[in-house]
Structure 1
Amino acid sequence: MTAIIDKRVCAEIEGDFVLFLIGMRVNRPLKFWKWWPVAKAMPKMIIELSKRPELGMLHARTHFGFPNIFLVQYWRSFDHLEAYARSRELEHLPAWQAFNKSVGSNGDVGIWHETYLIRNGAYENVYNNMPAFGMGVAGELRDATGARKEARQRIQAAAETPEAS
């Protein structure tokens, strides 16, 4: 079990980064031969990315709520994310091509993603009585005290760092 941090902390990631949300929705549960290959493709990608930090994924967490499955991912940059998505030698592109061939737009399985470029310091978060979670895993945890006690102070402190643009 992951250790609970029994104090208020906040997370920081140095520089700009990308928040990437990606998921699938099983629209026709009885057509398991259509949605199962899609569902099992993502763990292969996450394993690959976890073993190769130079590809740029900082952290990923999967959330299940059938018929929806989605992942929250933190990436070092959009360039890293795009390079991974387009690489012919890595897991994503062949999985994407297989999806388009097998499912395409027939309605059996829905897929989606949202990409957010987060500018240095243009975010705020707080965790209390939690294990490291979300940005707290992707970045570094700091005490949420003093200049970081309130949400407005945390976002202003992050925006005023020398690296902030």
Structure 2
Amino acid sequence: MSREVLPGRYTADIDGETVTVFLIGMRANRWWRLGRVMRIASRMPPMLRHLMTHPDAGLLGFEQWFGRTTILLSYWRSSEHLQRFAADRDAPHLEPWREFQRTFAGSGDVGVWHETYEVPAGHSETVYSDMPLFGLARATAHVPVAAGRNTARQRMGR
């Protein structure tokens, strides 16, 4: 995907009643246990490949950052889609999660976390100035800021 800078001001246009925002990550609590950290980190790429090749699973898009604490910011059609993926025996999530619970949970070596938010349409505000496609606009629709959407208050529908 191109990361070409798009000059100007843009916003995201959500098609639908809500978007589900899901943040997930891990933290290397004991960086010297690099093998364990990498074993857990290696489970995410197959999940993302699966989701990107199965659009019916409901993932709209994602951004990710790496460091001692990793963060994956993802956008979903609904929390039902997210929960269905998490519990699907044929998808590449359930078994790695069970393995983490059996093998790593409670060891203190690696922490995992997630947060889920349901955002009704009209209850989010985005602006992207001189940025490549990014975030919610990359996951939904990237549209120029136009009359009636110039301010944060207008973009929030107030």
- Name the TM tier (shorter chain): over 0.9
Quote the residue 1:40 is aligned against: 42
Quote the residue 2:80 is aligned against: 79
Quote the residue 1:161 is aligned against: none
1:97-146 CA distance string (max 9 Å, x none)? 11111101111100000000001111001011011100111111222121
Equivalents in 1 of 2:26, 2:151: separation in Å? 36
Quote the residue 1:22 is aligned against: 24
Superposition RMSD on alpha carbons, in Å? 1.1
Equivalents in 2 of 1:60, 1:9: separation in Å? 18
Equivalents in 1 of 2:47, 2:21: separation in Å? 17
Quote the residue 1:3 is aligned against: 4
Contact 1:13/1:138 (<8 A) preserved: no
Equivalents in 2 of 1:134, 1:33: separation in Å? 31
Contact 1:59/1:74 (<8 A) preserved: yes
CA displacement at 1:43 relative to structure 2: 0.9
Q: Which runs of 5+ in 2 are unaligned?
A: none
Q: Which runs of 5+ in 1 are unaligned?
A: 158-165
CA displacement at 1:62 relative to structure 2: 1.2
Whichever structure has more helix as a proportion of its residues is 1
TM-score after normalising by structure 1: 0.91
Equivalents in 2 of 1:33, 1:56: separation in Å? 32
Equivalents in 2 of 1:155, 1:142: separation in Å? 15
CA displacement at 1:40 relative to structure 2: 0.5
Equivalents in 1 of 2:39, 2:88: separation in Å? 20
Equivalents in 1 of 2:4, 2:33: separation in Å? 40
CA displacement at 1:28 relative to structure 2: 0.9
Q: Which runs of 4+ in 1 moved over 3 A?
A: none
Structure 1 segment 39-58 matched on structure 2, within 5 A? 39-58=41-60
Q: Does 1:124 align with 2:138?
A: no
